[in-house]
Structure 1
Amino acid sequence: MNFTDIDPDKLFSSTDNSNPIMWLVWIVPIVVFMFYGQRIQLQITSGEISKNIAKLVKYKEESKKELLDYLQTNLKATPDAAKKIDGFLEYFTIMPVDFDPNGIIPKIKHLLRSREDYTRQQVKSLSPNMDALEVSKVQNLLEVTTSLHLLHKLVRHLFLTAKKQNNFPLILPLQMMIPFIMEQASALRDAVSALKQGQPIGDGIGPMVVGKMMLGTEKKTITFETVCAEKEFEQRKLYLLKAEGPTATVGRPGDAVELLVLKNKPDIIVMIDAALKLEGEDSGSVAQGFGAAIGGIGTDRFQIEEIATKNNIPIYAVVIKQSVKEAITLMTKQISDKAESVESQVFQIILENTKPNQSALIVGVGNTLGVPQ
């Protein structure tokens, strides 16, 4: 028989109800997807998420191993260091009751400071050979490991709950979130190398700009892990503020700004910080705006906004845009090259918004690892 003699119209004709090929091609898939469509989708989606969970486990174990290796190789850690780190991974913080929001910021601030102080002391107990720089590096490495541990636990919980209920709609939110979760997890894993070596990260561009402006000035410690300096510029006095480098810290900018405002009454505040870019935006692009440019849980921003409002001081912001990965990994040349441009824009803001004999407070916000002053 010649295949050219077959009539396709007759083969798939809808008028021939006894045609087995037509029945198999159309009816069986419809019946299968009608009764088992969600289960098929659940299995396909589960396979994809299972692969990502395996990656999260790998990232978590790798970061933990690198932290332990760093402690044992470089800092001669105590024998119980591994056990203590396992305990750190399960630490949690219970936020204060917020039924009445009045006064909640001081409560949150107190909780976070207590946690920071306790963690710092526990990190110091891991090795007798730690200076301030090493303590800050280990704290940051521990934070990375803890974050990866938490991401793994949350993703696993959502995944197993959906599997247990055999419920496809329940797994849809996780399917939508997983690309963003994995992007963050990958960035955290890649951050370990820069943190161990004490190299500047993308988030340190704000302190880098202000640190450069501090060259040749006398630096004073104004509050915990935070330094300030004074400088003259075009008949204006500049108060320069950043976290104390080259340790891996963001300092306490809220406390420092409040002290400087109460003491010196600057006419404007200019804040420099890294900012997450939107997809399609160029890394290292610089933008100007208004308001307190500072991340975190919000206690420092509240403190800065509060003191600025009470003293009627405008706040200007300059941000350097970058991705999540660029913000917490080794600073790229594309971002570091923007330091001079940002400095020029800060000076321009000062000239446009102050007069001779007035003053400005310049705040470099971010992790100042590897960035001296």
Structure 2
Amino acid sequence: MSQFTDFLAQFNNFLTTFFIILLLLVFFYGQNWQGWYAGQQIKKSLKGLNKWKKHGINLIRKIIEPISPEGITTREINDFINRMLDFFVIPPVQLDPPIYGKLRYLMSYREERYSKLIKQFLPNIDKSSLATISALLNATTEIHNLHKKVRHNLIIGEKTKSYLFLLSTASEITQIMIKARAYRTAIDSFMKKSPIGDSIGPMAVNEFLKESQKNNNLNTTDNNHFKMKLQKCDHGIYSSEIIFEERRCICLRPNGPDVIVGNIGEAVENVILELRGEKLHPSILISIDAITRLEGEKLGTVAQG
């Protein structure tokens, strides 16, 4: 009995010593362990970002190689893709008053410059392939930039041994990977030339036109309340003009179904300028689009503004 009591006493002393040492280790090295764990999470995410970026580059290379001029080597194609991935635009200062006009000009010029660089490297490229490569480059560039940002934060955190900085970066990894995964999914859609986006705007316009035709019996010749005129506008937009309930309605939607979504802002501005040329002014402007759905919100909820 005494031996068992001595054993329990020794075991109790061992546990006490063990937990004291454990508490000391946590107290002195707890941040180090947290920083190491955060660093491992960041490195794992970096591998995923790098893998997705390479996937996008490989798809771009598959499109470029068959249409590239003779004599272009794989190394030159890779150099071209890497240059395009680092393409950047310097935005106007936020406090600059005419920021919208400058920003719109920059975005338009960016697309023009982007297309020009691709055409310089691939002189014989057709419009559809140009749009596909531009979309693939844009999506891959976003993943490339996210990869550079995360890698930068990881290296800075390890150099400065700032574990709080690593933990802060690790806390953002989930959102970064969700964003990168969306671009990764879009890359495959671009490659297949599938329609992108939610398509709620074009679908709403089409449903409106279909319902208008149905309700007003478009096939009858004695109907004077409904007329429709379809024409192609600039900036990749189609315009459908109808007389609905004695009101002139001009419905705009992207051409589709390619990866080009069109510049709806420029098209709307041109329509308004044309109406002003006819000494007319639109009484109401209705815009239909999808917004980001937050977790917990019901899918398909309609909000008005």
TM-score category (smaller protein): 0.7 to 0.9
Which residue is 1:88 aligned to? 84
Which residue is 1:169 aligned to? 164
Q: Secondary structure at the match of 2:198?
A: helix
Change (3 A) 1:218 1:137: farther
Which residue is 2:285 aligned to? 269
Kindly indicate whether the alpha-carbon contact (under 8 Å) linking 1:228 and 1:240 is maintained by their aligned counterparts in 2.
Answer: yes
Which residue is 1:109 aligned to? 104
Q: Aligned partners of 1:218 and 1:81: how far apart in 2?
A: 45
State how 1:109-188 maps to structure 2 within 5 Å. Answer: 109-188=104-183
Q: Higher strand proportion, which one?
A: 1
Offset at residue 56 of structure 1 (A): 0.7
Change (3 A) 1:128 1:203: farther
Offset at residue 267 of structure 1 (A): 2.0
Which residue is 1:35 aligned to? 28
One-letter amino acid of the counterpart of residue 278, structure 1 = L
One-letter amino acid of the counterpart of residue 271, structure 1 = S
Which residue is 1:65 aligned to? 58
Residue 54 (str. 1) matches residue 47 (str. 2): yes
Change (3 A) 1:130 1:218: farther
Change (3 A) 1:201 1:165: same
Kindly indicate whether the alpha-carbon contact (under 8 Å) linking 2:237 and 2:263 is maintained by their aligned counterparts in 1.
Answer: yes
Q: Aligned partners of 2:206 and 2:124: how far apart in 1?
A: 28
Map Cα deviations across residues 94-134 of structure 1 (whole Å, 9 max, x no partner).
122344x3112222222222111010122233434433222
Offset at residue 224 of structure 1 (A): 2.3
Offset at residue 246 of structure 1 (A): 3.0
After TM superposition, the score normalised by the length of structure 1 is 0.68
Map Cα deviations across residues 316-368 of structure 1 (whole Å, 9 max, x no partner).
xxxxxxxxxxxxxxxxxxxxxxxxxxxxxxxxxxxxxxxxxxxxxxxxxxxxx
One-letter amino acid of the counterpart of residue 96, structure 1 = P
Identity, % of aligned pairs?
29
Kindly indicate whether the alpha-carbon contact (under 8 Å) linking 1:226 and 1:244 is maintained by their aligned counterparts in 2.
Answer: yes
Change (3 A) 1:288 1:235: farther
Q: Secondary structure at the match of 1:125?
A: helix
Change (3 A) 1:8 1:191: farther
Aligned-residue RMSD, C-alpha:
2.7
Q: Aligned partners of 1:253 and 1:2: how far apart in 2?
A: 90
> If you compute each CA radius of gyration, which structure gives the higher value, 1 or 2?
2
Unaligned runs of 5+ in 1: 14-18, 291-373
Which residue is 2:233 aligned to? 222
Kindly indicate whether the alpha-carbon contact (under 8 Å) linking 2:235 and 2:264 is maintained by their aligned counterparts in 1.
Answer: no
State how 1:239-318 maps to structure 2 within 5 Å. Answer: 239-262=250-273, 263=275, 264-283=280-299, 285-290=300-305
Kindly indicate whether the alpha-carbon contact (under 8 Å) linking 1:53 and 1:152 is maintained by their aligned counterparts in 2.
Answer: yes
Q: Aligned partners of 2:48 and 2:242: how far apart in 1?
A: 50
Change (3 A) 1:286 1:200: farther
One-letter amino acid of the counterpart of residue 222, structure 1 = C
One-letter amino acid of the counterpart of residue 253, structure 2 = K
Kindly indicate whether the alpha-carbon contact (under 8 Å) linking 1:133 and 1:246 is maintained by their aligned counterparts in 2.
Answer: no
After TM superposition, the score normalised by the length of structure 2 is 0.82
Offset at residue 6 of structure 1 (A): 5.7
Which residue is 1:97 aligned to? 93
One-letter amino acid of the counterpart of residue 29, structure 1 = L
Q: Aligned partners of 1:199 and 1:2: how far apart in 2?
A: 81
Which residue is 1:298 aligned to? none
Change (3 A) 1:255 1:113: same
Offset at residue 63 of structure 1 (A): 0.9
Kindly indicate whether the alpha-carbon contact (under 8 Å) linking 2:85 and 2:144 is maintained by their aligned counterparts in 1.
Answer: yes
Which residue is 1:77 aligned to? 68
Offset at residue 197 of structure 1 (A): 1.4
Unaligned runs of 5+ in 2: 214-227
One-letter amino acid of the counterpart of residue 266, structure 1 = P
Offset at residue 282 of structure 1 (A): 4.3
Map Cα deviations across residues 174-233 of structure 1 (whole Å, 9 max, x no partner).
111100110111111111221111112233331233245567943333332223120122
Kindly indicate whether the alpha-carbon contact (under 8 Å) linking 2:34 and 2:167 is maintained by their aligned counterparts in 1.
Answer: no
One-letter amino acid of the counterpart of residue 17, structure 2 = W
Which residue is 2:222 aligned to? none
